[in-house]
Copies of this chain bind each other. A is one copy, B any other.
C-alpha cells in the first residue's frame, strides 16, 4: 500500500491521516498550524515540518494530499515544487478547476489528480476529525483525459481505504454540482439565519426544527465557508441567479395570486429525488482502467450518479443506478 503524506491537519487532513494509518499505511503529516501539529503529535501521529514531510514523500514515492483551504494552496504548491516536484499529488479542496490551474502554474511537474472528499462537520481543526469521517461518503476523484492512471488509482484506493466510495467527475462538472448542493446551502443558511435573528428575541424563542435545520451550517467557521464558496465563485454565480429567480418567482406568485403551489411542489419533488437517488437500485459495471478511453468512461459513471466501490489491479467496479429514480416520483 502506498505511503501517504498529508499537508494540512485540520478536520479533513487530520481525518485522512487517521484513516490512512488505520488502514495500515505508512502515513505522516505536516501543518502550518501549531495547535493542530501539537494535537496530532499528542495523539501519536507522525508530524514533521512541511519541507521535511515533502522530502520524505519524494524519497518514498508517497501520495501527497493537500488538505488546506484554497487560499493556502499556492504557497503549499510552491513548497511541493521545491521539495517533491514530481510527487504523486492529490488534494481535498472543495473546488477543482482553480486547483488544477494553480498546480499547472506552481507545481507543473507534479503528477496531480484532483480529489474532494464530501464530508464535513460544524467543528474544525484536528480535534474535530476522526478515522471514520469518510465512511459512506462520496469522494470525488477528477477524471481528466491524459491522467496518469497509476496516480488515479492511488487516489481512488486511498478513498476506498477511508471507507468512502469514489465519484469520478469532470472538474468543471464537479464545480457546478457542488455549487448547487454544498455552496448554495451555505449561502441560504446564512441568509435564513440573518433574517431570523434580525427581528428581536421573539422569533428565535419560537424557532423549532425547520429553522434549526435550515441554519445548522451557518454555525460552521465562517472563514472556512468563505474560502470554500468564494473559491468556487464562477460556478456559484449562476446557481445564485437560479435561486434568486426561483425565490423571486415565489414572491411574485404569492403577491399576485396568493399561491406558493409551484414553488412547494417543485421543492417537494426535488427532495423526493434526493431520497430516491439514495435508495436507488444499482447494477454493477466493470471498467478497464487501461483502456484508451478510460477517463471518458469514468466521467460517464459520475454524470449518471454512479459510484466506484472497488478497484482490483486495473479493473474498477462501479455501481450505476438502474431504476428511473431521477424522474419525477
Residue positions of A touching B, CB distance < 8 A = 118-120, 137-138, 140, 167, 169, 173-174, 176-178, 180-182, 184-220, 222, 225-226, 229-230, 233, 236-237, 239-244, 246-248, 250-251, 254-255, 258-261, 263-275, 277, 302-307, 321, 326
Contacts and interface: CB of A to CB of B under 8 A. Distances in A.
A268 B137 CA distance: 26
Given A137-B208, A268-B222, A303-B202, A254 B273 contact: no
Contact of A196 (B209, B217, B274, B307): B274
Instruction: Tell me the dominant secondary structure on chain A's binding face.
Output: helix
**Most chain B beta-carbon contacts within 10 A, residue among A189, A211, A268:** A268
Given A208-B182, A244-B244, A225 B264 contact: yes
* A169, A185, A244, most chain B CB atoms within 10 A: A185
Contacts of A217: 209-210, 213-214
Contacts of A180: 195-196, 199, 203
21 contacts: A118-B208, A120-B209, A138-B208, A167-B206, A173-B202, A176-B203, A180-B199, A182-B211, A185-B214, A188-B214, A189-B210, A190-B263, A191-B246, A193-B267, A194-B270, A196-B270, A198-B242, A202-B305, A215-B271, A218-B268, A222-B267
Nearest to A255: B237
Contacts of A303: 200-202
Contacts of A304: 201-202
B177 A219 contact: no
Contact of A267 (B182, B190, B258): B190
B264 A211 contact: no
A92 to B, nearest CB: 14
Given A193-B268, A264-B222, A268-B190, A211 B181 contact: yes
Most buried by B among A237, A244, A250, A326: A250
Nearest to A274: B204
B200 A268 contact: no
B195 A239 contact: yes
Most buried by B among A181, A188, A189, A305: A181
B236 A240 contact: no
Given A195-B242, A212-B274, 9 more contacts: A120-B208, A178-B203, A190-B270, A194-B267, A194-B269, A195-B239, A204-B273, A219-B268, A240-B251
A195 B243 contact: yes
A35 B3 CA distance: 61
A263 B188 CA distance: 10
Contacts of A176: 199, 203
Contacts of A302: 202, 205
A205 B186 CA distance: 18
